[in-house]
């Protein structure tokens, strides 16, 4: 494992240097999309460097070259967009009007109460479905046994236990109602004087966390923390300049990371995947955020069978939608095969693996470049237009960049009808719930 340690150490060093240089060029703007992907690679590399000997993780020089060059291509694309669009006055803006619209947003109390009632009903319906399914698979521990008893069946591809389509709709509703309330809370706290009544905007979290437990997964916790960080960052950008903005943003990032780590461990414990005698909190984080780099290395040095479908691992959503419409097409799975190391396994291989598997090396580089270009354009458009729906949508959909070196979430989560439902729902909720006052 000496060679692997050397390569992981080199990857960590190069990624840290690239991250620092990019931050300097971008005036330490932590919100930039390219910083998200670079941070993902840096954290993964450091975690693997620490755990390489314990887990006997493989890594080779050619894999390091690919990881670094992909990130360099993405960085070049992001910096080009930043050069073209950063503070670009040619983009039409209604600055004063839009700023007041965002800063003065609030939800009247009676509308908040209606929202809480709706959340209560949704969580109740979801809880009933999950409790019934858990009982069918042998749960005898009541509500507290739902997640641990049903998760193995949900995660098993061949399992006959299936969630209804309503659970997906429940998740979208609970998530977006919570986001709408948190968005208003952040604007009131950052841009206005503190009022204790602002705490009412946090009440949806009392429904959100129980729903997270019912889903038996931690992805909603990750997306929540990233959403809060992104929306807070945009609010800080409108209020502060220069060094003060960077300082506030770095503080927010630190608090966000600590909150994520704490919630990640707590939720994992509820699902039976928490700290134990043979697994520390750090090892849990390393397994989730770092081991995919070694899995990607294994894929690059293993002769995979050629894809039998166009976009076999990426276009799962479109294939499913077409089959729903009556087309007799194959049904590819979002789940990948497992790779085993020293007493540890994984079936996540970074986002790059899916691009490489379906469209070769050239496609991998092109997909990575296209993704960062789109996100960068959206990011600077949000900063300059200060539109509520744009910022809300961007903050909702930016999380795949922070998970870029864990697995692809862009095509899995967004390349289907769900993204349309979310954007339409956000627009409706903004119109129904938000009002402005000075």
pLDDT of residue 9: 95
Q: Where are the alpha helices (DSSP H) in 308-417?
A: 316-324, 350-385, 388-397, 399-402, 410-414
Query: pLDDT by residue for the chain (438 residues), tens digit each?
Result: 568 899 999 999 999 999 999 999 998 999 999 999 999 999 999 999 999 988 889 999 999 999 999 999 999 999 999 999 875 544 444 444 454 457 678 899 999 999 999 999 999 999 888 888 888 877 777 777 777 777 766 666 555 667 778 888 999 999 999 999 999 999 988 887 788 889 999 999 999 999 988 887 788 999 999 999 999 999 888 888 878 888 888 898 999 889 888 888 887 776 666 666 567 778 888 888 889 999 999 988 886 666 677 777 887 777 777 777 777 777 777 778 788 887 788 888 999 999 998 888 999 999 999 999 999 999 999 988 878 999 999 999 999 999 999 999 998 888 777 888 999 999 999 999 998 775
What domain range is 98 assigned to? 1-437
- Which one-letter DSSP state was computed for residue 340? E
**Per-residue model confidence (pLDDT) at position 272:** 65
Distances (CA, A) of 128 to 121, 135, 143, 169, 202: 11, 11, 10, 15, 24
Confidence (pLDDT) at 130: 86
Partners of 339 in the β-ladder: 346
For residue range 156-195, list pLDDT tens digits in order: 655 566 777 888 899 999 999 999 999 999 998 888 778 8
- Give the chain's domain count: 1
Q: What are phi and psi of 308, to 5 degrees?
A: -90, -10
Q: What pLDDT sits at residue 1?
A: 57
Structure tokens at 168: 């997906």
| The token pair that represents 279 in the structure block | 């697994």
Output the pLDDT for position 153. 66
DSSP characters for 121-181? HHHHHHHHHHHHHHHHTT--SGGGGHHHHHHHHHH-TT-S----HHHHHHHHHHHHHHHHH
């Amino acid at each position: 494992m000496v060679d692997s340690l050397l390569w992981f150490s080199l990857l960590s060093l190069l990624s840290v240097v690239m991250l620092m240089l990019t931050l300097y060029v971008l005036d330490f703007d932590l919100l930039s999309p390219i910083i998200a992907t670079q941070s993902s690679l840096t954290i993964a590399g450091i975690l693997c460097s620490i755990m390489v000997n314990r887990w006997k993780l493989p890594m080779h020089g050619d894999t390091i070259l690919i990881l670094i060059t992909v990130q360099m291509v993405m960085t070049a694309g992001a910096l080009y967009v930043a050069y073209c669009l950063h503070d670009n006055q040619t983009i039409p803006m209604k600055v004063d009007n839009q700023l007041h619209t965002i800063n003065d947003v609030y939800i009247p109390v009676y509308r908040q109460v209606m929202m809480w009632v709706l959340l209560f009903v949704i969580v109740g319906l979801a809880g009933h479905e999950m409790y019934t399914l858990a009982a069918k698979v042998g749960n005898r521990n009541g509500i507290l046994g739902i997640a641990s008893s049903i998760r193995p069946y949900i995660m098993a591809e061949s399992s006959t236990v299936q969630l209804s389509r309503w659970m997906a709709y429940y998740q979208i509703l609970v998530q977006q109602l919570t986001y709408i309330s948190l968005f208003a809370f952040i604007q009131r706290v950052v841009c206005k004087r503190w009022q204790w009544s602002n705490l009412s905007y946090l009440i949806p979290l009392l429904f959100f966390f129980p729903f997270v437990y019912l889903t038996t997964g931690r992805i909603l916790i990750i997306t929540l923390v990233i959403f809060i960080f992104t929306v807070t960052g945009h609010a800080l950008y409108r209020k502060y300049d220069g060094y003060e903005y960077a300082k506030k943003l770095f503080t927010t990032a630190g608090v966000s990371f600590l909150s994520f780590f704490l919630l990640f461990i707590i939720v994992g414990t509820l699902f039976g995947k928490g700290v134990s005698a043979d697994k520390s909190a750090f090892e849990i984080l390393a397994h989730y955020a770092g081991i995919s780099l070694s899995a990607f290395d294994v894929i690059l040095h293993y002769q995979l069978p050629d894809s039998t479908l166009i976009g076999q691992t990426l276009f799962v959503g479109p294939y499913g939608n077409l089959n729903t419409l009556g087309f007799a097409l194959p049904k590819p799975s979002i789940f990948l095969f497992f790779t085993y190391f020293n007493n540890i396994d994984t079936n996540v291989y970074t986002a790059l693996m899916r691009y490489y598997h379906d469209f070769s090396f050239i496609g991998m580089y092109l997909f990575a470049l296209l993704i960062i270009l789109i996100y960068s354009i959206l990011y600077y458009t949000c900063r300059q237009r200060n539109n509520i729906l744009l910022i809300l949508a961007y903050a909702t959909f930016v999380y795949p960049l922070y998970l870029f070196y864990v697995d692809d979430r862009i095509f899995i989560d967004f390349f289907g009808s769900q993204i349309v439902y979310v954007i339409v729902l956000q627009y409706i909720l903004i119109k129904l719930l938000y009002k402005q006052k000075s």
